[in-house]
Homo-oligomer: A and B are copies of this chain.
Amino acid sequence: MTNKEPKLTKKQIAILEAATDLFAEKGYAGTSTSEIANKAEVAEGTIFKHFKSKKGLLLAVVSPMMVKWIAPMIKKDLNKVLDQEFEYIQDFIRAMIENRKEFIQNNLPMLKILVQEIPFHPDLKEKFIEYVGNDVFDKLREIVTYYQEKGQLADIKTDAIIRTVASSILSYIVARYVFLPEINWDEEEVETERIIQILEKGIIQKA
Interface residues of A (CB under 8 A from B): 26-27, 29-30, 89-90, 112, 115-116, 118-120, 150-154, 156-157, 160-161, 163-165, 167-168, 170-172, 174-175, 178-179, 186, 194, 197-205, 207
What CA separation (Å) do A126 and B171 show in the bound complex? 21
State A151–B153 Cα separation when bound (angstroms). 26
How many copies of this kind of chain does the complex include? 4
- Chain B residue numbers with a CB within 8 Å of A116 are 116, 119
The interface residues of chain B lying within 8 Å CB-to-CB of A204 are: 89-90, 152-154, 199-201
A to B CB contacts below 8 Å, 22 in the list: A27-B27, A27-B29, A27-B120, A112-B119, A116-B116, A116-B119, A119-B179, A150-B207, A153-B203, A156-B197, A156-B203, A157-B186, A160-B186, A160-B194, A163-B172, A164-B194, A164-B203, A168-B171, A171-B171, A201-B201, A201-B202, A202-B202
Please, which residues of chain B bring their CB within 8 A of the CB of A172? Answer: 163, 167
A88 to B19, CA, bound (A): 50
A172 to B166 CA separation, bound complex (whole angstroms) = 11
B165 close to A203 (CB less than 8 A): yes
Is A120's CB under 8 angstroms from B200's CB? Answer: no
* Closest 4 pairs (CB-CB, A-B): A29-B29, A171-B171, A167-B171, A29-B30
Q: How far is the CB of A173 from chain B (nearest CB, A)?
A: 10
Give the shortest distance, in Å, between A29 (CB) and chain B (any CB): 4
Q: What separation, in Å, do the CA atoms of A154 and B120 have in the docked complex? A: 40
Assembly CA distance A83 to B27 (angstroms): 45
A157 to B, closest residue via Cβ:
B186
Residues in B whose Cβ lies below 8 Å from that of A175: 163, 167
Residue pair A154, B186 in contact (C-beta under 8 Å): no
Give the distance to chain B from A201, nearest Cβ to Cβ, in Å: 5
Known pairs A90-B204, A171-B174. 18 more at Cβ < 8 A?
A27-B119, A112-B119, A116-B116, A119-B179, A152-B204, A153-B204, A154-B203, A157-B186, A163-B172, A163-B175, A164-B198, A167-B175, A168-B168, A168-B171, A170-B171, A198-B202, A200-B202, A201-B201
